Amino acid sequence: MKGALIGCGFFAQNQMHGWAGIPGVDIVAVCDRDPTRRNDTAARFGARPYADAADMLAAESPDFVDIATTVASHRPLVELAAAAGVHVICQKPFAETMPDARAMVAAVDAAGRTLMVHENFRWQSAVRAAIEAVRGGAVGRPFFGRVSFRSGYDVFSGQPYLATDPRFIIQDLGIHILDVARALFGDVATLAASTRRINPAIRGEDVATMLLEHDSGVTSVVDCSYATRRLPETFPETLLEIDGDKGTLRLDAGYRLVIQAGGEQIRDVAPPVLPWAERPWHNIQESVRIIQAHFVDCLRRGTQPETSGHDNLRTLALVEAAYRSAADRTRIDMRAPE
Ligand code: NAD
Ligand code: 89Y
């Protein structure tokens, strides 16, 4: 299977390493407007460099394209890929607005191709162990959940746009945590959010607290912070507290999964540090390879990825609702037409 990557920046390096570990996949070409970035990445991974995505797709005719640029370029690039008739993976946040997101999904549908959003946190091995336990009935019927990401890690040095974009933590990180809440408890009926900016050196919000009522009857608290200074620093761990009618599940700091339901089961669900990975990013880095393998598996089987474009519209709607709720101090009915 031939792939091509667009955007050779900070995170794309993980994606290239991930692809290199998947049998039967070859990233034949990479593209970036920045000559140093495209040439370095091409040389590092043995691909052909291009300055322009349209030129690359025309010359290479790949089976799929992996879009690793920041959000502003996602719509034109997804539409370009759809017009070229190739399957698409697009990084999160998928789109800047819901109309853009719907148009992107429609474009790939019209081309008859597969679209997956690179929504990888639900594929982190520790989070996945919890999802599988809950789906398998380990705590009975869940009624409460807390999905929590609190850190003081400096994400701005690697990703400077996070300090200057008008929106920060919900659009960048909360989007993953909301998606994990969906993976655990299903779709959302109502959402209420409150946001704060603690770090005066950035433009957007760095703290968000969200209350969700799920269609399944679960009430969840989804909380995120990049203003939390504590030791040990838990970046980039998502911590979980789930109460069900038969027991409880906790995913504690240090990748410790504790399930109490009759007896007690304690598991070390720490992710491996892949040969190319480095702490503390290894957790995210492993999930990149896992979601890529899922995409390839879906293409081979002709099935839809878990975080297809259609699926991700529902995660993106939660992000939009959270900003609206925080601005208006209202609770948003997710089932009401916009
Ligand atoms: P970055 O700015 O470091 O890299 C983006 C690259 O895309 C730049 O080199 C830029 O020149 C290039 N680019 C932009 N538009 C282009 C175009 N039209 N054609 C060719 N090249 C173009 O950004 P980053 O930090 O690597 O983030 C990229 C995306 O990855 C973001 O959407 C971010 O949210 C996401 N991300 C995801 C995770 C995750 O765990 N899923 C983690 C970090 C970042
Ligand atoms: O961009 C973000 C993401 O998707 O995961 C962590 C991150 O790199 C910083 O918040």
> ∠ at Cα 224 (206, 197), nearest 5°?
20
- Is 12 near ligand 1, meaning CB less than 6 Å away? yes
User: Percentage of the chain with pLDDT > 70?
Assistant: 99
Q: Is the pLDDT at 47 greater than 90, yes or no?
A: yes
CB 82 within 8 A of CB 108: yes
Distance CA 304, CA 160 (A): 34
CATH class in words for 121-276+307-333: alpha beta
- At 146 the pLDDT is 99
Find tokens 């601005």 and name the residue: 327
Residues of the chain with CATH 3.30.360.10: 121-276+307-333
Q: Residue 86: which of 67, 51, 106, 61 has the closest Cα?
A: 61
Mean pLDDT of 291-305: 98
Q: Please give the pLDDT value at position 337.
A: 65
Does the pLDDT at position 189 exceed 80? yes
How far apart, in whole angstroms, are the C-alpha atoms of residue 111 and residue 319? 27
What residue type is assigned to position 301 of the chain?
R
**For position 75, what pLDDT does the model report?**
98
- Report the percent of the chain where pLDDT is more than 90: 99
- Which residues are registered as beta bridge partners of 220? 145, 212
pLDDT at 186 over 90: yes
Q: What is the ipTM of this complex?
A: 0.99
For 2-113, CATH gives: 3.40.50.720
Mutate to test the pocket of ligand 1, among 8, 10, 13 (most ligand atoms within 8 A of CB): 10
**What mean pLDDT value characterizes the chain?**
98
Q: What is the pLDDT of residue 336?
A: 81
CA distance 276 to 148: 28
- pLDDT at position 338 over 70: no
- Specify the domain boundaries for CATH 3.40.50.720 within the chain: 2-113
Task: Quote the pLDDT of residue 240.
Answer: 99
DSSP 244-293: ESS-EEEEETTTEEEEEESEEEEEE-PPP--TT--TTTHHHHHHHHHHHH
- Retrieve residue 12's tokens: 């794309």
- Distance from C-alpha of 156 to C-alpha of 153, rounded to nearest angstrom: 9
Q: Is the CB of 52 under 6 A from ligand 1?
A: no
Which of 33, 38, 56, 70 has most ligand 1 atoms within 8 Å of CB, for mutation? 70
| CA nearest ligand 1 atom 21, residue | 32
- Element holding 87 (H helix, E strand): strand 87-91
What pLDDT digit, counting tens, does each position of 103-116 carry?
A: 999 999 999 999 99
Mean pLDDT of 15-28: 97
Strands 48-50 and 207-214, by their bridges, are unpaired
Task: Report pLDDT for 33.
Answer: 98
Instruction: Write out pLDDT tens, residues 262-293.
Output: 999 999 999 999 999 999 999 999 999 999 99
**Could you write out the three-class secondary structure of 184-252?**
HHCCEEEEEEEEECCCCCCCCCCEEEEEEEECCCCEEEEEEECCCCCCCCCCCCCEEEEEECCCEEEEE
